Structure 1
Amino acid sequence: MAATLRVEPAGRCCWDTPVRISVRGLAPGQPVTLRASLRDERGARFRAHARYRADARGELDLARAPALGGSFAGLEPMGLLWALEPEAACQAWEPRDGEGSFPGIIDLFGSGGGLCEYRASLLAGHGFSVLALAYFRFEDLPEYLHDMHLEYFEEAVNFMLQHPKVKGPSIGLLGFSKGGDLCLSMASFLKGITATVVINSCVANTIVPLHYKDMVIPNLHSDPGRHKITEAGILSYMDVWDNPLEARNHQSLIPLEKAQGPFLFIVGLDDRSWRSNFYAQIASERLQAHGKERPQIICYPGTGHCIDPPYFPPSRASVHAVLGTAVIYGGEPSAHSRAQVDAWQQIQTFFHKHLNGKKSVKRSKI
């Protein structure tokens, strides 16, 4: 009997949905190598492989059989997806299956710029109306980050609050890296925001000054000369940034105590771009010093800077879209992948609780 590969659920499904992979019709104890590949929207190919051994019945089920080697090892049912690695060489999303209105979220990415829609599209599949918002390097927006104006983001908030598919009276914010400190500023100065999630972000305004009406928040001081180079020749920028608590940086700190709603900080403890855990603790101490609720902080060991939805291959290093050079982000592949699964659930639970009135049903397992 010829060997047959089965993937369940069959057909198309969202990237954050686990799939079950099995093989039947093998010889008992037969060595097997499974390979996965895909091309992204730019045509770049990603590959992963793992070696297994069939059981006594000639079957292989990745939910029960540990990988013996390859791109990963051990019991990792989704390893062929999260282990994918590259070969050498403003969009609004609405729930697909519902009438009426849904909790609204604005989604911001980091200093690479452009319009990133994959996270927004996946959240839309979980009952949210999401606006993926670019703020430079897209269409008629500036090519590079210069002085930024919070009024641009205020327009996006008002757009969402008035949208017929958005369930008011408020919305949530989700930001990663530079997009995270922008979300903190939006939550602190703009109305109509009652839930904010930031992923590996700073508590000070970074990179460029931020303007709002007659106010200017200077950017956190930095010294590019403090960068380090790994043994592999990849740049590490973590030491470039000044300590936000130093006197000359006090004006760059974002006044989180002005925000109307709670915060969730997602922190990778192996973040090689920012001192994200330190920044989250600064936020917690500042909020409590002003008599505000302590933020929820979830820390993930072995997890780097780029925390994506489940089963996305961990981005441990890549050529930065603006800097044009390879930058290290950190993270151990297996731990980082597990963190992405848990963080994705935590983000949805937080937003459902604070935007939709649903109680939290799961605590972090990590």
Structure 2
Amino acid sequence: MAATLSLEPAGRSCWDEPLSIAVRGLAPEQPVTLRAVLRDEKGALFRAHARYRADAAGELDLARAPALGGSFAGLEPMGLLWAMEPDRPHWRLVKRDVQTPFVVELEVLDGHEPDGGRLLARAVHERHFMAPGVRRVPVREGRVRGTLFLPAGTGPFPGIIDLFGIGGGLLEYRASLLAGKGFAVMALAYYNYDDLPKDLDVIHLEYFEEAVTYLLSHPQAEGPGIGLLGISKGAELCLSMASFLKGITAAVIINGSVANVATTLKYKDESLPPVGTDINRTKVTKDGFSDIMDFLNVPLEGADQNCIIPVERSDTAFLFLVGQDDHNWKSEFYAREASKRLQTHGKEKPQIICYPETGHYIEPPYFPWCKASIHSYFNTVVIWGGKSRAHAMAQVDAWQQLQTFFHKHLSGDKRTIPAKL
């Protein structure tokens, strides 16, 4: 009997959806290797492989069979996705066109040689970024530039603004996936996109205020307030928005800074300078990469006190998702500093979830861990921290945590999902 490779869901699924992988028709206890290959939109290949042994009936179910080695080991049903590594050095997997899927090719090879075994079975699977019924609406309203993703149904839905980091442009994949969970999510660009400023010399919060006003007034967005979701520089901007602007009920801060970084921040007659830096504190790893974790001054005393975002003004509910091995900056320190300032001023204690052996880019589930890549601000290869498996597990949990948090604070859903780590 010929071997068959079966996937559930068959044919297509959403990127953040678990995938069941099984092989049938093997010989009893036959050794095999499973390979997964994905080509990104820039043509870079990402690959993973793992060695397995069929059971006495000649079947192999990745939910029950541990990998015996390869890109990962142990019981890891989704390891063939999260353990992928790029053929190109220092390359991060990013989805730029959410209207098209990533196509994953899966192969079963005889034996335990990932490049030499006879091909036994093959399957192709599409991993999509827009759930059925999700609508994509480009936004050009006043100065606001972005994309609004609306769930299937009539709404209204809890509204969220989604911000990425210092690379600029417009990334939509997190917003599009989150819309599939019942939120109206606007991926917001803030520089180096369309007719927006090309650099970050000065950030004016009035632009973000206009975006908040737009989403609050949208008939498909449920009030009275909206949520914010940001990572890295985007998370820092979410803290600033929650501190200066009205209409923000909840904010999820993924590896953000409580200090204003890299550029002057202005709102009306107030101005925050950027935190000081010292390039001499940058280290070089044994692999020749830059470790920039200590590049920023620790803003606790002296002139750098002026750059701290005044979070104590905010009545927003906060969830901080922190990679404890973040090498971009001291994310855990900043989360706890923000918590201390909020509580000192009688504000609600924020929720902080810390993930051990987890680096900077906490993405939606099953995105491969990025060890090192080009930092757009430094224009050099930097390390991001973390370890592959721990980072992958953190992404799955963080995705559930932020959904629960937003449902609770934006739509009154009191369900909780306990942290797994």
TM-score normalized with structure 1 length: 0.98
Stretch of structure 1 that moved more, 118-127 or 6-15? 6-15
Q: Write the mapping of 1:247-266 to structure 2, written as runs, cut at 5 A.
A: 247-266=302-321
Q: Report percent identity of matched pairs.
A: 64
Distance 1:291 1:306 in 2: 32
Distance 2:376 2:333 in 1: 26
The one of 91, 94, 109 equivalent to 2:147 is 91
Say which SS state the counterpart of residue 77 (structure 1) adopts. Answer: coil
Distance 1:316 1:167 in 2: 39
Say which SS state the counterpart of residue 158 (structure 1) adopts. Answer: helix
Aligned residue number for residue 195 of structure 2: 140
Distance 2:44 2:190 in 1: 25
Distance 1:8 1:161 in 2: 39
Give the CA deviation at 1:245: 0.8
Aligned residue number for residue 73 of structure 2: 73
| Change beyond 3 A, Cα 1:322–1:40 | farther
CA deviations over 1:26-54 (Å, ceiling 9, x no partner): 11111111111112222221111111111
Stretch of structure 1 that moved more, 18-27 or 217-226? 217-226
Amino acid in the other structure paired with 1:93:
F
CA deviations over 1:176-214 (Å, ceiling 9, x no partner): 001111000000111100101100011011110101111
Say which SS state the counterpart of residue 338 (structure 1) adopts. Answer: helix
Aligned residue number for residue 103 of structure 2: none
CA deviations over 1:198-233 (Å, ceiling 9, x no partner): 000110111101011111011111112321111111
Say which SS state the counterpart of residue 240 (structure 1) adopts. Answer: coil
Is 1:152 aligned to residue 207 of structure 2? Answer: yes
Larger strand percent? 2
Amino acid in the other structure paired with 2:210:
E
Distance 2:298 2:7 in 1: 49
Give the CA deviation at 1:142: 2.4
**Contact 2:299/2:307 (8 A) holds in 1:** yes
Amino acid in the other structure paired with 1:125:
G
Say which SS state the counterpart of residue 279 (structure 1) adopts. Answer: helix
The one of 235, 244, 248 equivalent to 2:299 is 244
CA deviations over 1:151-185 (Å, ceiling 9, x no partner): 11111101100111101111000010011110000
Amino acid in the other structure paired with 1:26:
L
Distance 2:328 2:375 in 1: 12
Amino acid in the other structure paired with 1:124:
A
**Contact 2:162/2:185 (8 A) holds in 1:** yes
Amino acid in the other structure paired with 2:273:
P
Aligned residue number for residue 260 of structure 2: 205
Distance 1:328 1:63 in 2: 32
Aligned residue number for residue 60 of structure 1: 60
Give the CA deviation at 1:267: 0.5
Distance 2:235 2:71 in 1: 32
Say which SS state the counterpart of residue 210 (structure 2) adopts. Answer: helix
Distance 1:195 1:37 in 2: 38
Distance 1:73 1:246 in 2: 47
Is 1:9 aligned to residue 9 of structure 2? Answer: yes
Distance 1:323 1:251 in 2: 24
Amino acid in the other structure paired with 1:332:
K
Distance 1:45 1:162 in 2: 43
Which runs of no fewer than 5 residues in structure 1 stay unpaired? none
Give the CA deviation at 1:259: 1.2
Give the CA deviation at 1:360: 2.6
Aligned residue number for residue 33 of structure 2: 33
Amino acid in the other structure paired with 1:191:
K
Amino acid in the other structure paired with 1:70:
G
Distance 1:278 1:360 in 2: 28
Which runs of no fewer than 5 residues in structure 2 stay unpaired? 90-145
Give the CA deviation at 1:362: 1.3
Distance 1:36 1:143 in 2: 38
Say which SS state the counterpart of residue 12 (structure 2) adopts. Answer: coil
Is 1:106 aligned to residue 151 of structure 2? Answer: no
Say which SS state the counterpart of residue 239 (structure 1) adopts. Answer: coil
Is 1:234 aligned to residue 304 of structure 2? Answer: no
Aligned residue number for residue 352 of structure 2: 297
Give the CA deviation at 1:266: 0.4
Distance 1:227 1:135 in 2: 28
The one of 329, 338, 350 equivalent to 1:274 is 329
Aligned residue number for residue 312 of structure 1: 367
The total of aligned residue pairs comes to 365
Amino acid in the other structure paired with 2:223:
G
Distance 1:186 1:333 in 2: 32
Say which SS state the counterpart of residue 311 (structure 1) adopts. Answer: coil
TM-score normalized with structure 2 length: 0.85
Distance 2:286 2:384 in 1: 14
**Contact 2:158/2:182 (8 A) holds in 1:** yes
Aligned residue number for residue 122 of structure 1: 177
Distance 1:297 1:55 in 2: 43
Give the CA deviation at 1:322: 4.4
Q: Write the mapping of 1:321-360 to structure 2, written as runs, cut at 5 A.
A: 321-360=376-415
Distance 1:116 1:88 in 2: 21
